[in-house]
Amino acid sequence: MTKIGNFILFVLLVSLVQLSAIKVMAADVQVEASVDRNQMGIGDSFVLNIAVRSEEDFELSDLQLPKMPGIELINSMPGGRQSSSSMTIINGKTKFVSQTSQDYNFVLSPQKEGSFIIPAIDIHIGGNTYKTNPIKIDVQEEYRNTKAQPKGRPRFPPGYGGQKNDEEDAFGSPLGNIQDTEDLFEQLLKQQQRMFGAGGGGGGSQGNQIPSRQLNINTNEAFFVYLDVDKTEVYEGEQITANWYIYTRANIESLDRVKFPDLKGFWKEIIEEVPALQFTEEIVNGMRYRRALLASHALFPIKAGSAVIDEFKVKARVRMPTQFGWGQAHDFTKASRRTEIKVLPLPNEGRTQSFSGAVGTYHVTLKTEGNSFPAHQPFSIKVRYEGIGNAKLIDLPSINWPSGLEIYDTKSDSKFFKEGQSFKEFEILAIPRKEGEMLIPALDLTYFDPQQKKYVSASTQELRLQITAGTQPVGSNPASNLGNKASTGEVFKPQPILQLPQASFSFVNYRFPIYLAVLILGLVGLISYFSVQLKNLKFEPEFLTNVNNKINLIEKYVSVNDYRKIGSEATNLIYILVANLAGQKKADQEMHLLINEISSKDQQLYLARITQLFDYFQLLGFSPDEIMQSALAKKPIKEQAEQLKNLAKEVVANLKKQDKYNE
């Protein structure tokens, strides 16, 4: 009887499950997919909403999106579950209808341009499978940060950004009295300022009027990265100031700079790369944001035509304000919009022989420390170019030096300042070989002024120097003691050889100490050999391999006369060498800062050659075509590449010897 009772109970349970399934099947289940926008740029984010509605209660398992090449899943958020009831009277009969809805939201980001189809997604309810509608999205650069909205925008779950939505859903139920995000942001910001002081982690207007502007951006996003340039049409070599900002209405918990702009086609000077965000307030499109500078660069296009400032991509974890405080943390990846720069060629009209490619406003000075120098003694002549623009591009022109003046050495120093000013100074070491008056000719400089749109000339005064009598230093060639004595007339007498007393020696008597000494020497030799090999194994992958790879690339590009790539790879190689001489693992500082870290001994050995080669290859890789051709004409590329190769070998040998290489 017990078995029969259990069987009957089992049949009843199965019947109940089947009736429940039939009831769900009979219910009117609707599934729908929608996106908050279907036109966007690479790196923008959008929300895919999947809504399920049924007249009966149901259980919805976790949804899994199919793989969509070119679209990255950033986050998934289960939405709110809502139930409602309604009453209708038909032919005098009252009918009660209950309705349940469930939402799922997925934050997605396209990673390449084109048209994409979000395919139909399977929804499993009560043993049945329902499919959503497919959705088409277009990803183009022109759509970046646009506000294109489809007809049925998704409903955001509670806590997702505090989205204000006073309209009703499909079943006539209000979607909630969620406060406006702007009001919430203002309240939370004031609360945070009261708790932590006026700064509040984000700066404030401090009673001043908050600046306002209109930008072509999507204000529905938690944050965005914006590139602000002072001009989009410039002449070749003219400065563009590019500032990258992050704008946010959310609380940023962490920030990672995923991709810095490559800035191909530009000579770059760093104005500022901030180590920590400093926020100020700004009104954008009528909404309050916090803004912080990410980086500021001075860019100089190197050739006429079209150049593109590529994207600055960041990944951040943010919390949006809600009516209950800060909402759930979400990770988003955003990128600035690629900006095209129109680069005008420099005109030929008015160009003179003294034009070396300088664009901006400059002046030149020629000076010496005094005007009287003794013959045969070295003194310095300094030529300094400075002004607004990139003075680093200016090279020393050919100078008709007076007869009797021997040029011994030339070195240069240059720097770009945050205010947009720069200088380049050449120090020329000269030795006068005859007495009397000596005339250093005036130097001419022609530069293109983009404001006046014409070439402007500047020149120095000539220098009149008096060369007085001086003593020519006598070269001291090392001589042996024998030679010195011979010159003084002393006669060299051989010294008698010291005679050692004879002693008897028997190998048999000393064979064991000899064997022991040989064994010890052999062990010491083996240990030394293996320690050297281990050091080489440790050294090879980190520093030496990088140096050899750069040298091989330089030789490859020299063989095909690819000057731009030669300049780029050679500049990178010099950075690697200088960083290791400075004891740094990465060449992530400016060159003059790295040089300051090099020991005085190594500076004496390498600084002059490093400076000369760095200036040459930097001009080769990143200067306008005219300046590049001038540099090639003055110094053949193969000769300079060979000098760099020899310098690299010396530095590597020195670092190995001193055991100062960096892993």
Higher pLDDT, 284 or 152: 284
Lowest mean per-residue pLDDT among 77-91, 559-573, 598-612: 77-91
Domain contains 580: yes
pLDDT tens for each residue of 68-127: 888 887 766 655 555 554 444 455 554 555 667 777 778 788 888 888 888 888 887 777
pLDDT of residue 532: 57
Same domain, yes or no, for 538 and 644?
yes
pTM beyond 0.75:
no
Expressed as residue numbers, the domain containing 561 is 528-658
Same domain, yes or no, for 322 and 360?
no
pLDDT tens for each residue of 483-541: 333 333 343 344 444 444 444 545 555 666 776 777 788 787 777 766 655 555 444 45
Same domain, yes or no, for 592 and 455?
no
Same domain, yes or no, for 451 and 368?
yes
Given 468, 486, 510, which residue is the final one in a domain? 468
Same domain, yes or no, for 374 and 258?
no
Amino acid 349 reads E
Given 468, 490, 510, which residue is the final one in a domain? 468
Same domain, yes or no, for 153 and 234?
no
Contact 613, 290 (CB under 8 A): no
Same domain, yes or no, for 285 and 379?
no
Lowest mean per-residue pLDDT among 138-142, 224-228, 308-312: 138-142
Given 344, 370, 401, which residue is the final one in a domain? 344
Domain contains 518: no
pLDDT tens for each residue of 206-235: 445 788 888 888 777 888 999 999 999 999
Domain contains 484: no
Question: Is 70 exceeded by the pLDDT of residue 605?
Answer: yes
User: Residue 265: helix, strand or coil by DSSP?
Assistant: coil
Share of the chain above pLDDT 90, in %: 18
Domain contains 509: no
The whole-number average pLDDT for the span 312-337 is: 81
Lowest mean per-residue pLDDT among 6-10, 210-214, 556-560, 575-579: 6-10
Question: Is 80 exceeded by the pLDDT of residue 179?
Answer: no
The whole-number average pLDDT for the span 452-463 is: 91
Number of structural domains found in the chain: 4
439 falls in which pLDDT band (50, 70, 90)?
A: very high
Alpha-carbon span 381 to 409, nearest angstrom: 11
Domain contains 169: no
Same domain, yes or no, for 199 and 340?
yes
pLDDT tens for each residue of 383-400: 999 999 998 888 888 889
Same domain, yes or no, for 209 and 329?
yes
User: Residue 240: helix, strand or coil by DSSP?
Assistant: strand
Domain contains 63: yes
Question: Is 90 exceeded by the pLDDT of residue 205?
Answer: no
Contact 370, 413 (CB under 8 A): no
Residues 6+ apart with CB under 8 A from 349: none
Same domain, yes or no, for 282 and 407?
no
Indicate which CATH number applies to the domain containing 425. 2.60.40
Domain contains 650: yes
Residues 6+ apart with CB under 8 A from 76: 63, 104, 105, 106, 107
Domain contains 362: yes
Alpha-carbon span 288 to 210, nearest angstrom: 9
Same domain, yes or no, for 650 and 535?
yes
Same domain, yes or no, for 304 and 359?
no
